[in-house]
């Protein structure tokens, strides 16, 4: 909000001092050490270094041309050539007043909106969504919401795994041992049983494996019976996925599974071969290193026994079948042609890093002129409290629906203990919002690239960096609203906004960085920046709430300003939680 304005002013001053400077690299950010001021720029040092200038001299030259009197107190040059800015009271008052009037919420929509395709969730047919899909679903959904909020065009695409070798086994099982009643009762359970049983039997009866393969070939060549069974599996799975998504409040613009790209696959391999990018290797077709980058960075090389050896990207198997890689190449082409995106994000776990490095490198060689940014937004695993991969007590992978049930049950107990007098239906609704919010927040809070330990006690705690704590802070802002409704509109600040107490100032200084925080999230694909911003906001709000009486303030101007501060804090908390995919409550 204020950052873009300050940045523009700084750029004007820089261009006056250095007419040929690259202004896109002149940036302002919140001070890493608040003792130095509100905002800082380190960009001048980089500019000076390139030109072999004295950085403090450049800082002084820029400062002499800088016109920010209306926004800042005096500006300091510090260290090797930083500029530190401290906002003046009038600028803080104007910012909070504009937000209180509903003119903005401290964010500026993108001046050049980008088109971003986000591939996330992407579960597999005939298998339930499990904890491994949780992070993808929450991260992808949250990023989509924030990109949209900042004015970008977003296409969310659920790339369902609905094609592949597993269907050979599934078809064979379906034809030989399917139990219709079991399928109706719990489709995933029955389909999993089919798969596991055939897979087990294949180990003892070698002939069975060929039968399964034959079923797969029949499916791939368009056999009507196998296609019909496959469609039924797809439909049953999708219905289950949809009910989970509805519960999570997650939606997709398109759901184009792997099978959608099936007709394109032979053409992809043909084209790669014609261009000399793919070549034969043991009967298969694969992409090899072109030696264009150092071995350490080359995704087509791997170090084995102290030597760099080929690590090819397989696009056609020796039996003629296509694979995950081929499908992803076709998918990439389709997305570029259909939406002309500036950015495509793939939200999947850490184990797929090599796949995406090879995919992107292959695509760059295939379409060297494409400008689109390709990004694997990868994440670590969820661990149990024993530090091992998160499993049920019997050692099975945890299903998402079971996890959600348990979250709601546990939240319901807390709500019943705290608020026994609320009607049952309201208690249940509160428990649902708290349980779901707690799980989402616990997942979004850690740096996505690290593993995290799943702990019920921690994620449901009312004190700590948790969703319930933030939801609680939000209810406090609303409680005042309810009283306000009785007393007339409290927060209508008619004169100048009164900001005097240190807690009021600290709160406003944090509120104004909401937009900057959202920008940082999408620059690095890290929702944890928003979680931490909201936690800090709730902390500053709590200090304000304890030290600055609102309704009891004697001066009506102070009362109105404080009430407006509560109201705006509530809006930012509510909006921020909403962007994390978390619902708020008016009381809890």
Rounded to whole angstroms, how far apart are CA atoms 433 and 522? 26
Can you state the percent helix, strand and coil of the chain, rounding each to 5? 55, 10, 30
How many CB atoms sit inside 10 A of residue 506's CB? 17
Task: Based on the shown chain and the rule CB under 6 A, indicate whether residue 567 belongs to the binding site for ligand ARG.
Answer: no
141 counts as binding ligand ARG under rule CB under 6 A:
no
Choice between 85 and 261, CB closer to ligand ARG = 261
How far the first Cα of the chain sits from its last, in Å, is 32
Strand bridging mode 76-78 / 82-85: antiparallel
Instruction: Please report where in the chains the tokens 């776990």 appear, as a residue.
Output: 349
**Smaller CB distance to ligand ARG: residue 187 or 435?**
187
Q: Tell me if 124 contacts ligand ARG by CB under 6 A.
A: yes
Determine contact, residues 131/400, Cβ cutoff 8 Å.
yes
Q: What 3-state class would DSSP assign to 118? A: strand
Instruction: Please identify, among the stretches 118-126, 183-191, 244-252, 441-449, the one whose residues bind ligand ARG according to the rule CB under 6 A.
Output: 118-126
Which residue in 417, 401, 410 sits closest to 432, CA to CA?
410
41, 93, 122, 326: residue in contact with ligand ARG (rule CB under 6 A): 122
Q: Is 161 near ligand ARG (CB under 6 A)? A: yes
Q: Tokens for 204, please give them.
A: 């003892």
Site string for ligand ARG, 271-310 (x = CB under 6 A): ----------------------------------------
CA distances from 16 to 9, 21, 364, 517 (A): 11, 10, 39, 30
Query: Is the CB of 346 or the CB of 544 nearer to ligand ARG?
Result: 346
Q: Closer to ligand ARG by CB, 124 or 316: give it.
A: 124
Residue 383: Cβ-neighbour burial (10 angstroms; 0-12, 13-18, 19+): middle
Give phi and psi for 528, each to the nearest 5.
-60, -25
Is residue 119 part of the contact set for ligand ARG (CB under 6 A)? Answer: yes
The distance of closest approach from Cβ of residue 551 to ligand ARG in the complex, given in angstroms and rounded to an integer, is 53
Of 31-39, 65-73, 116-124, 403-411: span binding ligand ARG (CB under 6 A):
116-124
358 lies in the site for ligand ARG, by CB under 6 A: no
Burial degree of 280 (CB within 10 A; 0-12, 13-18, 19+): exposed
Query: In whole angstroms, how close is the CB of 347 to ligand ARG at the nearest point?
Result: 8
Q: Residue 352 Cβ, how far from ligand ARG at the closest point, in Å?
A: 7
Q: Tokens 């001070």, residue?
A: 31
Question: Contact between 348 and ligand ARG (CB under 6 A)?
Answer: yes
* Interface stretch with ligand ARG, choices 8-16, 121-129, 145-153, 510-518 (CB under 6 A): 121-129
Q: Kindly tell me the sign of the dihedral angle through the C-alpha atoms of 401, 407, 410, 415.
A: negative
With CB under 6 A as the contact rule, which of the stretches 120-128, 285-293, 500-508, 539-547 interacts with ligand ARG? 120-128
- Distance CA(361)–CA(269), nearest Å, equals 16
Q: Longest Cα pair distance anywhere in the chain, in angstroms? A: 88
| Nearest distance in Å: CB 349, ligand ARG | 7
Nearer to ligand ARG, 124 or 561 (CB): 124
CB 270 within 8 A of CB 264: no
Per CB under 6 A, does 162 bind ligand ARG? no
Pairing of strands 39-41, 29-30: antiparallel
User: Which residues in the 178-217 window bind ligand ARG by CB under 6 A?
Assistant: none
Q: Write the DSSP symbol of residue 389.
A: B
Structure tokens at 372: 């689109």
346: contact with ligand ARG by CB under 6 A: yes
Query: For residues 119 and 504, which CB has a smaller minimum distance to ligand ARG in the complex?
Result: 119
Piece of the chain touching ligand ARG by CB under 6 A; list 122-130, 237-245, 419-427, 566-574 = 122-130
Q: Does 159 bind ligand ARG (CB under 6 A)?
A: yes
CA distance 356 to 85: 42
User: C-beta of 541: minimal distance to ligand ARG in Å?
Assistant: 39
Report the SS3 class of residue 448.
Answer: coil
| Total number of residues that touch ligand ARG (CB under 6 A) | 10
CA–CA dist 530, 584 (Å, integer): 16
| Minimum CB–partner distance for residue 445 and ligand ARG (Å) | 23
CB of 50 to ligand ARG, least distance (A): 40
Nearer to ligand ARG, 279 or 364 (CB): 364
Selected range binding ligand ARG among 7-15, 119-127, 233-241, 424-432, rule: CB under 6 A = 119-127
Tell me which residues touch ligand ARG (CB under 6 A): 119, 122-124, 159, 161, 328, 331, 346, 348
């Amino acid at each position: 909000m204020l950052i873009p304005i300050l940045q523009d002013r700084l750029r004007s001053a820089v261009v006056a001092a250095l007419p040929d400077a690259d202004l896109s690299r002149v940036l302002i950010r919140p001070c890493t050490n608040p003792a130095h001021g509100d905002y800082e720029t380190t960009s001048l040092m980089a500019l000076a270094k390139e030109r072999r200038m004295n950085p403090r001299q450049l800082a002084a030259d820029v400062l002499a041309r800088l016109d920010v009197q209306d926004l800042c107190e005096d500006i300091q040059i510090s260290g090797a050539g930083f500029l530190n800015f401290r906002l003046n009271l009038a600028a803080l008052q104007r910012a909070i007043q504009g937000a209180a009037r509903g003119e903005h919420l401290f964010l500026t929509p993108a001046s050049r909106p980008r088109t971003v395709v986000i591939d996330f969730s992407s579960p597999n047919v005939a298998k339930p969504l499990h904890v491994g899909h949780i992070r993808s679903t929450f991260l992808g959904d949250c990023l989509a919401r924030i990109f949209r909020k900042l004015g970008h065009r977003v296409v969310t695409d659920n790339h369902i795994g609905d094609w592949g070798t597993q269907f050979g086994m599934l078809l064979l099982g379906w034809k030989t041992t399917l139990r219709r009643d079991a399928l109706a009762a719990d489709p995933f359970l029955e389909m999993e049983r089919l798969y596991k049983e055939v897979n087990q039997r294949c180990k003892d009866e070698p002939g069975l494996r060929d039968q399964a393969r034959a079923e797969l070939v029949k499916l791939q060549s368009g056999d009507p019976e196998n296609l019909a069974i496959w469609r039924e599996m797809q439909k049953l799975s999708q219905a289950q996925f949809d009910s989970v998504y509805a519960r999570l409040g997650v939606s997709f613009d398109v759901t184009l599974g792997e099978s959608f790209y099936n007709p394109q696959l032979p053409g992809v391999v043909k084209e790669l071969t014609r261009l000399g990018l793919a070549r034969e290797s043991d009967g298969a077709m694969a992409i090899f290193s072109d030696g264009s980058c150092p071995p350490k960075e080359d995704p087509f090389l791997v170090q084995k026994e102290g030597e760099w050896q080929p690590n090819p990207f397989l696009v056609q198997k020796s039996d003629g079948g296509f694979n995950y890689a081929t499908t992803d190449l076709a998918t990439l082409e389709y997305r570029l042609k259909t939406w002309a995106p500036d950015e495509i994000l793939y939200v999947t776990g850490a184990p797929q890093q090599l796949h995406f490095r090879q995919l992107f490198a292959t695509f760059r060689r295939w379409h060297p002129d494409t400008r689109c940014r390709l990004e694997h937004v990868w994440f670590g695993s969820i661990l149990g409290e024993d530090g091992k991969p998160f499993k049920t007590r019997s050692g099975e992978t945890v299903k998402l629906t079971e996890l959600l049930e348990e979250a709601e049950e546990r939240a319901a107990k807390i709500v019943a203990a705290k608020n026994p007098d609320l009607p049952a239906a309201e208690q249940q609704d509160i428990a649902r919002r708290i349980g779901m919010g707690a799980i989402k927040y616990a997942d979004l809070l850690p740096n996505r690239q690290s593993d995290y330990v799943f702990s019920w006690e921690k994620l449901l705690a009312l004190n700590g960096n948790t969703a319930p704590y933030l939801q609680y802070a939000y209810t406090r802002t609303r409680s005042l609203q309810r009283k306000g409704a009785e007393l007339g509109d409290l927060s209508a600040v008619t004169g100048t906004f009164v900001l005097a107490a240190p807690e009021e100032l600290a709160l406003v200084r944090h509120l104004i960085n909401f937009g900057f925080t959202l920008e940082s999230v999408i620059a690095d694909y890290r929702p944890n920046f928003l979680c931490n911003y909201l936690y800090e906001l709730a902390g500053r709000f709590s200090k304000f709430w304890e030290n600055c009486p609102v309704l009891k303030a004697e001066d009506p101007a102070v009362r109105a300003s404080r009430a407006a501060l509560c109201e705006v804090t509530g809006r930012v908390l509510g909006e921020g939680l909403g962007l994390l995919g978390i619902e708020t409550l008016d009381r809890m």
